[in-house]
Amino acid sequence: MTATAHARFVALHRAATPLLLVNAWDAASARLWQELGAPAVATSSAAVAWSRGYADGGALPRTVLLDSCADLVRVCSVPVTVDLEDGYSEDPAAVAALAAEVVGLGVVGFNLEDGGGAPELLTAKIRAIRAALGPTPAFINARTDVYLRGLASGEAAVAATIQRLTMYRDAGADGGFVPGLTAAADAARIAAAVPLALNLMTVPGLAPLAELQAAGVCRVSTGPGLFKVAYAAGQQAAMACLGGDFASLYAAPLDYGTMNRLFAVPTPR
């Protein structure tokens, strides 16, 4: 990816409607979502970890993460952004080195989370990344888990989120990711208080898209949702096959030729 791809990705956050990211976990899912018209592709850390045989939560080895990033960039012509969890280290310099390596592979941005810990640590990581990247563009989507981990509720949750995202913006973040936030009214207050591209995640109870748009939400992502849906369908089909019922294999499969053609020629850049 190039600076042009980064500019395209930034522009998607300034469009009239929120950027909808259907998160992928491997080359096949990423390319399928692109073929459906996804204007950008993102990963879910949980989905990538599970697809590679690791638990979510910092267990993914560095080499496996980098292989995953390279796979997506290789097969996609749309901008690719990846989930780096907490950067897989508490050392800001180590996180900055990883971020620089990921950007060097061609991704246009990444998520980086505080995990509900002290905001000063994520602030230091973002500053270190900006220093390491220099003029190289990268969209840093700073995630805070105030809502997801239930660190506060009501007015206190809104205030804590605003405080954290303000710190992350001042350090150099471009977006603010608040998974677990569902109320459009709270999203509107946060969006008005912090000039960051506000990103929410699909969870039960999330306000309708039109309300989120009116609240100033710029981006909505599915997290590991699609992975869980896809593997639930696969689990049900496998159970049927193990019971001797093969009908589900022929009901509505992806066409072999269509899939194979996706990867038979180089991806246009």
**Would you write out the chain's pLDDT as a tens digit for each of its 269 residues?**
567 999 999 999 999 999 999 999 999 999 999 999 999 999 999 999 999 999 999 999 999 999 999 999 999 999 999 999 999 999 999 999 999 999 999 999 999 999 989 999 999 999 999 999 999 999 999 999 999 999 999 999 999 999 999 999 999 999 999 999 999 999 999 999 999 999 999 999 999 999 999 999 999 999 999 999 999 999 999 999 999 999 989 988 899 998 999 998 766 65
191, burial (CB in 10 Å: exposed 0-12, middle 13-18, buried 19+): buried
| pLDDT at residue number 173 | 98
Q: Who's near 158: CB < 8 A, 6+ residues apart?
A: 186, 189, 190
Superfamily of structural domain 3-223: Phosphoenolpyruvate-binding domains (3.20.20.60)
| pLDDT at residue number 269 | 57
| pLDDT at residue number 251 | 86
| pLDDT at residue number 264 | 87
| pLDDT at residue number 158 | 98
Structure tokens at 258: 């269509």
